[in-house]
């Protein structure tokens, strides 16, 4: 048993709901009280489970035998996935009233930027549920079974997906261009040109991502938001954000969001998950739960 700490408040119900809606069959299991998934790292593979203890503000973690040799790396990734290093009071001071209604929201990260890149591409122009189904099909096609947990598969490696037949991926229910985009992404991981860790300049990194086939501005921003867990990303082209900022252009939305620097990623989450929120003419912001 391992433990990690966090600073309260932390809305675990929301976090598990967010991850549960996007859970990939064969890779992840999410309940109201714990999160479990397969993971591969440095030639080792297995399954871990995390269970929050809200009384002690600790995350209890169990690793299957295959992951014990890489326990420190697993814990570091888990810490990133659940945004455990966040200092919520610091964020809320900047967000003000926008963050007051839901002070425990954290930024869901990822266990692996490569995996999140695949999932971001699969999520283009489809529902959250459909994106999860597509990811599960890719896992079933290209994923490797977990030796000490036969009910699980590991998310496909970049080598496995780089060698995939684009027509086989297309047969899973995606356009051929999207299949080719996944293969190109995998090849860039294999050859070392895809940044698996956050670049020093996140904005430049997002612009570079947009030079890759099949990755537009929304996908690049979302990949940075979760794959790199960048804290200061906003998505002015997002469908729901454009609804919240009705009548404003993406450039106007981007300028408006500057007030939440350097925590625009958290502002984005609050706006997404606050029904009825809208910017006020006087420049202040409001959050209204309906």
Give the separation between CA 177 and CA 175, rounded to whole angstroms.
5
Q: Say how far residue 66 (Cα) sits from the centre of its chain.
A: 25
Spell out a b/e string for 141-157, using b for 16 or more CB atoms within 10 Å of the CB, else e.
Answer: bbbeebeebeebbbbbb
238: annotated active-site residue: yes
**Structure tokens given for 173:** 């229910």
Q: Which residue among the candidates 83, 112, 232, 238 is catalytic per the annotation?
A: 238
Dihedral-angle region of residue 222 (phi above 0 means left; psi in -120 to 50 means alpha; beta otherwise)? alpha
Cis omega (within 30 of 0) for bond into 283 = no
With a CB cutoff of 8 Å and minimum separation 6, the contacts of 225 are 107, 233, 235, 265, 268
Residue 70: count other Cβ atoms within 10 Å of its Cβ. Answer: 20
Q: Name the residues annotated as catalytic.
A: 238
């Amino acid at each position: 048993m391992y433990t990690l700490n966090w600073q309260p408040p932390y809305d675990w119900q929301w976090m598990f709901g967010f991850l549960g809606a996007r859970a990939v069959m064969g890779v992840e299991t999410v309940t109201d009280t714990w999160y479990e998934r397969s993971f591969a790292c440095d030639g080792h593979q297995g399954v871990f489970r995390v269970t929050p203890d809200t009384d002690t503000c600790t995350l209890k973690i169990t690793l299957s035998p295959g992951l014990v040799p890489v326990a420190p790396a697993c814990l570091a990734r888990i810490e990133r996935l659940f945004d455990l290093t966040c200092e919520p009071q610091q964020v809320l001071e900047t967000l003000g009233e926008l963050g007051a209604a839901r002070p425990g929201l954290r930024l869901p990260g990822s266990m692996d930027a490569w995996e999140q890149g695949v999932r971001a591409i699969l999520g283009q122009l489809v529902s959250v549920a459909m994106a999860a189904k597509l990811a599960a099909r890719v896992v079933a096609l290209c994923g490797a079974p977990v030796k000490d947990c036969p009910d699980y598969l590991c998310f496909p490696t970049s080598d496995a997906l780089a060698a995939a037949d684009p027509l086989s991926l297309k047969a899973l229910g995606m356009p051929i261009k999207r299949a080719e985009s996944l293969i190109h992404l995998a090849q860039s991981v294999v050859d070392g040109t895809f940044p698996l860790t956050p670049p020093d300049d996140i904005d430049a990194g997002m612009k570079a991502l947009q030079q890759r086939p099949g990755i537009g501005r929304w996908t690049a921003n979302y990949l940075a938001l979760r794959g790199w867990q960048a804290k200061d990303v906003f998505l002015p082209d997002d469908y729901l954000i454009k609804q919240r900022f009705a009548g404003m252009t993406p450039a106007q939305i981007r300028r408006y969001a500057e007030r939440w620097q350097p925590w625009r990623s958290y502002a984005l989450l609050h706006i997404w998950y606050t029904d009825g929120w809208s910017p006020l003419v006087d420049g202040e912001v409001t959050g209204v739960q309906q």
